[in-house]
Amino acid sequence: MLQFFKYVLATMVGLFVFFIVSIFLLAGIGAMFSSDETVVISDKSVLRLDLNKPIQEVGVENPFSGVGGPFAGEENVVGLKDIVEALKSAQKDDKIQGIYLKTEGPSTGWATLEEIRNQLAEFKKSKKFVVAYGESFTEKGYYIASIADKIYLNPAGGMEWNGLSAEYSFFKGTFDKLGVKPEVFRVGEFKSAIEMFVRPDMSEASKKQSLELLTAINDHYLQKISASRGVSPSVLKGLADSLAVENPESALKNKLVTNLGYWDEFENYVKGVLKTDLKKDITYIGVDKYLKSTNTSPEGDYNKRVAILVAEGEINSGDGGDGSIGSNKFVKELKKLRDDDKVKAIVVRINSPGGSALASDVMWREIQMTNKVKPVIASMSDVAASGGYYMAMACDKIVAQPNTITGSIGIFGLIFNVTDFMNNKLGVTFDGVGTNPHADWPTATRDMTDFEKSMIQKSVEEGYEKFTTKAAAGRKMPVEKLKTLAQGRVWSGVEAKANGLVDALGGVNDAVKIAATAAKLKEGEYRVRYYPEKKKPLEEMLTKIMGDEEEKALNKNFGELAAYAKMYKKLMNMGGMQTRMPYEMVIK
């Protein structure tokens, strides 16, 4: 009888869970259908540009974002493509009177901000207003805000103005404690991606290249702000050196902001510009809703397309996934575009710090084959370094923003010896047999011999020779000169252009124009289309539901040891030959 009640109770609980999940599924499906409804823009509307969110090349819509519950997760991810389209449309839209910038602390990269800032400059040609309000501003946030006609800073707020910095994490101590021994093989003085595993701090070569990169990006930053605010770069630099912008009053005194005021004071100013009643609410509209209200029918001839193929994330073999570039998937997409007679030119939009050397080479080959059939132009976003540059060097032309991080032409090998880790932390030991002395080589479960290590180093050096030889051929420069720019060193877009590693400075639209010209297409007669094609809402919903199944399985199977299993898996994914830029570089 007791067993019977257990089954009944389990069935009731199962039905209850099924009922709850069904509600959220139906709510998500309902949200998808309701999202298709037409949005009507009222007169005197203000486009709200909220940049305090993650920004990807193409937006991702989470159908559960407004529903809540177990599948809610993050809100919709904003797409740079969507932001640019909204700004272009709003520039000509009589119902949009201006733009409110919410840009206190963007978490995106500098080149993405450059694209947005340049498009805002285009918008201002319409003579419509651009205003910014912030309780505080980071350097990135202020870079966007600085283009506004009016910049309001909360009187009790604050503002970062102390220069750019880059801080790195080092895991040598962690690996020592865990019993993980990294075996590192590299070529190039500046190929410092592996330092985080084997050092507690930065090498002098790494400090040198990092400082020069930061200085180049900071110089461009100051020049652009100087042009917008009418304060010389030398004065701006002096303010940072002396920490003179210590409070909102000093920001106002030094002309970095135009007004100190609270939100209600800012809104009263906007109402005055709109010539509306102070008691009436301002109609703000976000990018997502605004694009649903506009005629987004693509312009140009469908049979004459310039395709933008997005390659964003770390580079891996296979199909990849969200946040990574899978060489198999990339090759399939590029081959389809190559074989499509309606696609006349291709822009490969790269935002990647690199990754697998093999996967990078596979994609390089496919790009080479494609540019024999039709023009292929590289457009570099925030970072196109190491494996990201490997992809770009196969293109006909390379376009980068002045603050793009690129170069890092180099290669390294990394194998983690996890014998002590598995033994001491998990109680797992290893033993085996083989037909030959090195049958299990390369291995992560024993110490390799000097001879075995020399063979891996030899492979890394051969990989470096292939990388630099192909880069030199792509750049049409002697290998000896190319090698002076390589050795794993990273460059800003400005430096890369001066050194011949890129052809032009600009954004994705500039790359599209270069591609169209190369394909002998006249302005206005071609259509621009992004690939891979965006998932439909139902596909996004299913991906959202199924996406965490692997993590659930790890937690279920390993319990308290799941964290160790996840770390082990991540370390194994980083093994082998890598074309990866130094560290995870975050400039703030």
Active site residues: 191, 386
Q: How far apart are CA 181 and CA 445, in angstroms?
A: 10
Query: What is the DSSP code (8-state) at residue 230?
Result: T
- Residues 376, 370 contacting (CB under 8 angstroms): yes
Characterize 222-234 residue by residue with b for buried, 16 or more Cβ atoms within 10 angstroms of its Cβ, and e for exposed: bebbbebbebebe
Of 84, 50, 39, residue with least CA distance to 512:
84
Characterize 569-586 residue by residue with b for buried, 16 or more Cβ atoms within 10 angstroms of its Cβ, and e for exposed: eebeebbbbbbbbbbebe
Could you give the C-alpha distances from 207 to 262, 402, 489, 582, in angstroms and in order? 42, 21, 11, 11
The number of residues in the chain equals 588
Could you give the C-alpha distances from 369 to 25, 305, 312, 400, 507, in angstroms and in order? 44, 19, 21, 23, 25
Query: What is the DSSP code (8-state) at residue 124?
Result: G
Q: How far apart are CA 373 and CA 557, in angstroms?
A: 50
Backbone phi, then psi, for 410, in 5-degree steps? -175, 175
Of 548, 541, 552, residue with least CA distance to 24:
541
Q: How far apart are CA 139 and CA 121, in angstroms?
A: 19
Query: 10: which residues sit within 8 A by CB, 6+ positions away?
Result: none
Question: What is the full DSSP assignment across 125-163?
Answer: GGT-EEEEEEEEE-HHHHHHHTTSSEEEEEEEEEE--S-
Of 69, 79, 83, 75, residue with least CA distance to 28:
69
Q: Is 417 helix (H, G, I), strand (E, B) or coil?
A: strand
Question: What is the full DSSP assignment across 108-120?
Answer: S-HHHHHHHHHHH
Owner of token pair 């199944």: 549
Query: 207: which residues sit within 8 A by CB, 6+ positions away?
Result: none
